[in-house]
Amino acid sequence: MTAPLDLERLAGRDDPIGLLLRSLDSLAADPAALQSLAEAVLADLGQKLPPDLRGADGVWALDADAALADALASARERLLAVIGAEDTR
């Protein structure tokens, strides 16, 4: 069994990992910023999806604030899993 990651230490690092964790935490704390980022990054992709993947009213899942928050949390957990695996090597 491995020790849990020290998230505060990781986020405080002055490297890409620390910057990424701080950015993820900042987005999690600011739904408007997360929505703005999603619109900028995902708008083109959403327009290219076939209608059957966008839903009946033309809205796809990542248009909802809760879905964006869930996607961000999932991405953060995946990142931490990779960091944890690298940390044990």
The rounded distance, in Å, linking the Cα atoms of 29 and 18 is: 17
List pLDDT tens digits, range 27-74: 999 999 999 998 888 878 877 877 777 666 666 667 788 889 999 999
Percentages of the chain per state (helix, strand, coil), in multiples of 5:
75, 0, 25
Buried b or exposed e, range 46-67, using 16+ CB within 10 angstroms:
beeeeeeeeeeeeebebbeeee
**CA distances (Å), 50 to each of 46, 47, 55, 71, 79, in order?**
9, 8, 9, 21, 30
pTM of the model: 0.75
User: Where along the chain do its domains lie?
Assistant: 7-87
